[in-house]
Amino acid sequence: MPRTLPTTDDLRTRARAALDRVGVTLDEAVGGGGSEREVCHARTPITGERLFPVPAASAAGVEEAVADAHRAFLAWRSTPAPIRGELVRRLGELLRAHKGDLADLVTVEAGKIRSEALGEVQEMIDICDFAVGLSRQLYGRTIASERPGHRLAETWHPLGVVGVVSAFNFPCAVWSWNTAVALACGDTVVWKPSELTPLISLACARLLDRAAEDVGAPDGVHRLVIGDRAVGEQLVDDSRVALVSATGSTRMGREVGPRVAARFGRTLLELGGNNAAVVAPSADLDLAVQGIVFAAAGTAGQRCTTLRRLIVHRDIADTLVARLTAAYAKLPVGDPFDDATLVGPLISTAALDRMQESVARAQAEGGKVLAGGGRRFADIAPAAAYVEPVIVRVGAQTGIVREETFAPILYVMTYETLEEAIALHNDVPQGLSSSIFTRDQAEAELFLSAEGSDCGIANVNIGTSGAEIGGAFGGEKETGGGRESGSDAWRAYMRSATNTVNYSGRLALAQNVSFL
Ligand code: UN1
């Protein structure tokens, strides 16, 4: 088990080297004109300490960024979609060339273990490939007209400037899902990343700028605005921002949604999850244990798709729980750059406080802690938050179990009938991801049916996290209803127009209406 941590100086050197290779010069890093609103500090959860000051965009800088993106949109929307795809193809090439550098920055700033950081960059590469293909597949339908000599069709047009607001836990993949698809769709993007991850966003923005230069795309197809809540609010309230695609807490979405709706803008919301897995008596327990441990403890419980609730048939509950607690006892917690580590740090000590409060609430509500909870490395890195993932057995789906705590806490409950399990499963405010472990096909199909999981993602014999980019990603209820990434999520980034073309030479009104 890793016993030491890198020093903040080591991490600074590593981050600076990655930024250099990508082409980011920190001193000139943040464009967007005007005086700076304030300085934001890049920091690392590996030691909990600050790395570099990064200038944040001023109000004037945000205004300029939106104006630039809007100006670029007016040209970009008329660029043929397959030509737009060339920009995304070039971005994908640069992401491939800098995969290791970007993964380094993800690990430094978000604390992800190496394999997950590389996986996040791979998601970016994958969505670029997807969006290049999409640039030749923005299909509209031709519809049978009720009138002779008429053609009825649907056309998809670019929408405008897309404001992308992303969170610390997927500091670059979520940006890429939005940006690669938006660019192929003919939109331009203004990105407000999490204040906790400015360096990776500078690196991504630099690579996209380079791609735009290489293919001759208009300046302004993408702008980065680093800053606090005020920057996000400016995007939310700017009527030139046609779509606000925001990933974060349900609390954030509750503010963003109505504000954008008040100006009749569009939103795409990816908010909290409280994801569960049902484990049926027929489940392959070897597979279930592996799937559950990755989904619940992976990324230190900081995915929106993290497994937070386990609903286990009572006949196998003790066996499964014993196997899970044994697996948890061996989980290597520590330096995410160490290949042996599986659980890196939480993003902050504030996140650790919230985790401890939730565990205490669960205990007060009758829960029993079966594994984990100990803090690690507090002596050598008091500003960092390393914690052993926790399993809590609960008797009922009480208050805290119904909330999302962004930390590795797995609540375990039991059930007797599948109907009861599904009812428990759906009885939370959130609706992002779900899964069932079973070898009984009828059970699996029921879980996937209209009477089954009410989530945007429903899986069989695989955990709740780690979706591929090819499917649409998002969830229902307090998760916000948005769909990003693959399938036909692109439609959210475009506007459709219905066209009726009369080539008959005479006026025929629909529904046989006569007039004149
Ligand atoms: C998120 O946590 O915000 O399905 C996104 C997954 C990843 C994306 C998670 N592909 O876990």
Averages of pLDDT over runs of 10 residues in the chain (516 residues) are 84 97 80 56 97 94 98 98 98 98 98 98 98 98 98 98 98 98 98 98 98 97 96 97 97 97 98 98 98 98 98 98 98 98 98 98 98 97 98 96 98 98 98 98 98 98 97 98 97 98 97 93
The minimum-distance atom of ligand 1 relative to the CA of 303 is 2
Is the CB–ligand 1 distance for residue 177 below 6 Å?
Answer: no
Q: Is the CB of 305 under 6 A from ligand 1?
A: yes
Q: What is the pLDDT of residue 39?
A: 82
Say if ligand 1 is within 6 A of residue 479 CB: no
Q: Is the CB of 112 under 6 A from ligand 1?
A: no
For residue 34, what pLDDT is reported? 47
Pocket test for ligand 1, best of 125, 268, 465 (most atoms within 8 A of CB): 465
Ramachandran bin of 320, using left for φ above 0, alpha for ψ from -120 to 50, beta for the remaining angles = alpha
Residues 98-116 pLDDT 10s: 999 999 999 999 999 999 9
Q: Which run of H or E residues covers position 84?
A: helix 81-97
Note the pLDDT of residue 36: 46
The answer to whether the CB of 250 is under 6 A from ligand 1 is no
Element (H, E) at 501: strand 494-502
Atom of ligand 1 nearest to the CA of 468: 10
Equal fold, 8-271+480-496 vs 275-469: no
Output the pLDDT for position 26.
82
Residues ≥6 apart with Cβ < 8 Å to 97: none
Ligand 1 atom closest to the Cα of residue 467 is 4
User: 170 C-alpha to center of ligand 1: Å?
Assistant: 7
Contact 34, 131 (CB under 8 A): no
Burial per residue of 139-149, b for 16 or more beta-carbon CB atoms within 10 angstroms, e otherwise: eeeeeebebee
pLDDT of 249 reads: 94
Distance 431 CA to ligand 1 centre (A): 14
Q: CA 178 to CA 48: how far, in whole Å? A: 29
Q: Which atom of ligand 1 is nearest to the CA of 306?
A: 11
- 83 CA from centroid of ligand 1 (Å): 29
Q: Is 466 in the pocket of ligand 1 (CB under 6 A)?
A: yes
Predicted local confidence at residue 27, as pLDDT? 73
Residue nearest to atom 3 of ligand 1 (CA): 304
Closest residue by Cα to atom 1, ligand 1, is: 304
What is the CATH class of 8-271+480-496? alpha beta
d(CA 421, CA 414): 8
- Give the residue among 516, 93, 471 at the shortest CA–CA distance from 459: 471
User: How many A from CA of 461 to the centre of ligand 1?
Assistant: 18
Q: Which amino acid is at 435?
A: S
The pLDDT value recorded for residue 38 is 64
Q: Is 435 in the pocket of ligand 1 (CB under 6 A)?
A: no
Domain boundaries, the chain: 8-271+480-496, 275-469
- Is residue 247 lining ligand 1, measured as CB closer than 6 Å? yes
pTM surpassing 0.90? yes
The domain made up of 275-469 is a member of CATH 3.40.309.10:
yes
Ligand 1, atom 6, residue with closest C-alpha: 466
Residue 29: predicted pLDDT: 55
Known catalytic residues are 270
